[in-house]
Structure 1
Amino acid sequence: MTTPALSTRDRIVSAASTLFYSEGIRAVSVDAVAEKAGITKRTLYYHFDSKDDLIAAYLDRRDQPNLALFKRWFCETEGDVADKVRGVFFNLAASARHPRWKGCGFLRTSAELANMPGHPAMKIGAAHKRRVEDWFSCVFEDADLGVHARTLARQTILLLDGSFAVVLLHRDPSYMETAGEAAHALIRGCAARL
């Protein structure tokens, strides 16, 4: 059984995703994306008005798969909500041990575009982080921990994004595991107050 060929637009986004994630958005030219996609630069600009639009499409493509992966790891982890949240961190740490791991594409892109807060990719990155926070908030509401779920979700996302940054800096995934243990203790502490 053969898989259907990707549309030209999908090939472009796939090529951009590979290059942007591995090398960074500023280091990759539109010419390099076109070459990797096996198209002309003119064809690329037929599908995208600018490199900025292509960067936004790259992040938009990562949004739902990343969130779905977090949800899957959460569901596959045995135990209570604290154990399951820690499982997300531990699975991320396992991913970070792969030699091609380059951190969170959303955070790396936001660092490269820090001086451009209105950039479409910044808006997509912020929306993605809000969706992850919203998901954590729903998880904590469903667990009925007796605390403000939104505050606990924000604390968890701070641990998560902080661990992305420190792991990338030190190349030591154990920092993500330590952040997972901190999230676990935080959630257990909330549950213990009930």
Structure 2
Amino acid sequence: MTDNSGTTGRGGKRRAARPLTPAGLKILETASRLFYEQGIRAVGVEAIAEEAGVTKKTLYDRFGSKEDLIVAYLRARDDLWRDTLERYVEEHDGAPDEKLLATFRALGAWMRERNPRGCAFVNAYVELPADHPGQEVAREQKAWFLAYVKDLAAEAGVADPEALSNQLLILHEGACVADAMRSVDEATERAEQMAAVLVRQSMH
């Protein structure tokens, strides 16, 4: 995992990434894969340690508890998604309205490459108890994305950035579900087409 400390400019400030030893990085990478593929509650620290090739003591020395490892997993995944999103958006430097639509192209790439089982943050939110710190990470991630899209909408000069960002967030979430469940063909592309209509309407 990379160090993504500093600011993104849009959506607010990123957290400073926690420096990890090689063993810690291996544990986090293994846990991230198992948590996403099998579910957070289904995967125990024994399985993570065994697959990562470390002892349980090493795992606890690096992360303290399974709960802390879950938080680290979600934060690391958030950083990966932000990197993907920002890369696609910044390809459209000269067209503010195109940046809004680029978020859907980013989502399409994310679904193909890293997100075939749907949103990790929604999955975690459902699995974890209400007082688990991972729930707050999931809420923060959605709040950051909403603020990020709102900033893009404001830069594009739309009449009501808040209203448009809410609409586009709903399209993003729906496209993610439809793509993961294969209930709609080309879900992210169709969501982008719908978003284009909303963006055009909001410019008047």
Question: Fold conserved (TM > 0.5)?
Answer: yes
Quote the Cα distance in structure 1 between the aligned partners of 2:110 and 2:35: 18
CA change 1:24–1:127 in 2 (3 A) is same
Q: Is 1:93 the equivalent of 2:85?
A: no
Q: Is 1:110 the equivalent of 2:125?
A: yes
Higher helix share: 1
Q: Is 1:13 the equivalent of 2:25?
A: no
Quote the Cα distance in structure 1 between the aligned partners of 2:72 and 2:167: 29
Q: Which amino acid aligns with 1:117?
A: A
- Displacement after TM superposition at 1:179 (Å): 1.4
Q: Which amino acid aligns with 2:88?
A: W
Secondary structure of the structure 1 residue equivalent to 2:159: coil
The residue number in structure 2 matching 1:181 is: 193
1:15-40 deviation per Cα after TM superposition (whole angstroms, max 9, x unaligned): 11121122221221211110122111
The residue number in structure 1 matching 2:144 is: 131
Quote the Cα distance in structure 1 between the aligned partners of 2:166 and 2:60: 39
For the 8 Å contact 2:88–2:105, the answer to whether it is kept is no
Quote the Cα distance in structure 1 between the aligned partners of 2:81 and 2:198: 24
Aligned residues: 185
User: Does 169-178 or 125-134 show the bigger shift?
Assistant: 169-178
Q: Is 1:74 the equivalent of 2:84?
A: no
Given the alignment, which residue of 181, 187, 201 partners 1:169?
A: 181
Q: Could you tell me the percent identity over the aligned residues?
A: 32
- Displacement after TM superposition at 1:172 (Å): 4.8
For the 8 Å contact 1:140–1:153, the answer to whether it is kept is yes
- Alpha-carbon RMSD: 2.3
TM norm structure 2: 0.80
The residue number in structure 1 matching 2:63 is: 48
Quote the Cα distance in structure 2 between the aligned partners of 1:180 and 1:84: 11
Structure 1 unaligned residues grouped into runs of 5+: none
